[in-house]
Amino acid sequence: MIFTRFLPGVLKELMKHVPTVLFKAVEWSDLASEFPKITKRILSKEGYQDLFDSQSSILGNLGVKLIESRPEANTFPDKDRAGEEILTIYFTQLLSPHGVFLDLRIQYFNQTEENLHWSPSPLWTRFSDTFSVGLIEVYDGFYFSEDEKFRQGLAKIGLLSLDWKDSDQAELCNLFRSHFGAAADEKMSFRLEDLQKSIINMANFLLERKVTINKDFLYLGINLVTMYSTLESIGSNVCVAKIYKDLREKLHPRL
């Protein structure tokens, strides 16, 4: 897409992993307004320290140690534990109100016997309140088998319209479920190609119905593809549902 020329360098590099069809579904004016903010955060690390401190205080109790400098090595002697800890980072950020470090590529991680060390890049965002609530409803709906909550959550994050006919709503739900893996309560491995295919299918579905997505979903896509890429490289095989449910209870108990 021609407008990717205007992306900040780091963001342009990350977008290589995001299927280009997703750009066609993005509200361009919404994304363009973000460029100055993102550029400032990358170049001057605006807001970085506050978010670093906030996430460090949470993740430090969950086996993840945030560090200022990028680790000299990227080794993972316990592949499955590393996967669990990286998924812990992903879900913890979504469940916390402080903001999200988006770039979860492997070069920012290293595992020791005691901890997973993570040096976040300065690329971060804060999702809108509506998007955050909707995203939690989506994950709750999937992992706690609450179909109506899943559907309502997809509507809140802007992927589904409650005015659609039932068959279209069901199709979108199934397309989004595909990024969770085949089963909710079994261990899964990660293939970036599978995630990219699910994003392509969903984006094409939205384009056919002339639905545009906002910048929050594009940022979520960056977060997901960088995480998948890392977990695939490590070779992790983990039960995602257990990680999410445990964190949900610790950080954001369900009423």
* pLDDT tens, residue by residue, 181-206: 655 678 899 998 888 888 888 888 88
Same domain (yes/no): 158, 195: yes
| Burial label, 44 (beta-carbon count in 10 A; 0-12, 13-18, 19+) | exposed
Strand order in the sheet with 64-66: 64-66, 116-118, 109-111
Summarize pLDDT for 200-225 with one digit per residue, the tens.
Answer: 888 888 888 888 888 898 889 889 98
- 133 with 202, same domain? yes
Confidence (pLDDT) at 17: 66
> Token pair for residue 93?
């950020």
Kindly provide the b/e burial profile for residues 186-205, where b requires at least 16 CB atoms within 10 angstroms of the residue's own CB.
eebebebeebbebbebbbeb
Is the pLDDT at 1 greater than 80, yes or no? no
189 within domain boundaries: yes
Euclidean distance between CA atoms 131 and 156, whole angstroms: 6
pLDDT of residue 185: 72
Distance CA 107, CA 70 (A): 8
The pLDDT, as a whole number, for residue 147 is 93
Let me know whether 137 and 27 are in one domain.
yes
* Residues making up the chain, counted from first to last: 255
Rounded to whole angstroms, how far apart are CA atoms 241 and 143?
A: 6
What is the per-residue DSSP string for 82-117? HHHHHHHHHHHHHHSSS-EE----GGGEEE-SS-EE
Shared domain for 119 and 137, answered yes or no, is no
User: For residue 111, what are the β-bridge partners?
Assistant: 116
Q: Which of 32-41, 98-107, 189-198 has the lowest mean pLDDT?
A: 32-41
pLDDT tens figures, 148-160? 999 999 999 989 9
Per the structure, the count of domains in the chain is 2
pLDDT at position 253? 80
**In whole angstroms, what is the distance from residue 124 CA to residue 96 CA?**
14
The Cα 80–Cα 228 span in angstroms is 14
Q: Once rounded to an integer, what is the mean pLDDT over residues 56-70? A: 95
Q: Which domain holds residue 32?
A: 12-40+128-233
Mean pLDDT of 45-49: 93
User: Taking the model in full, what pTM does it have?
Assistant: 0.90
Q: Could you give the percent of the chain with pLDDT greater than 70?
A: 86
Shared-domain flag, residues 108 and 219: no
Residues 235-253 have pLDDT tens digits of 999 999 999 999 999 998 8
What does each C-alpha distance from 188 to 19, 53, 129, 224, 235 come to in angstroms?
23, 31, 30, 15, 10
- Residue 2 in this model has a pLDDT that exceeds 50: no
Residues 170 and 207 in one domain: yes
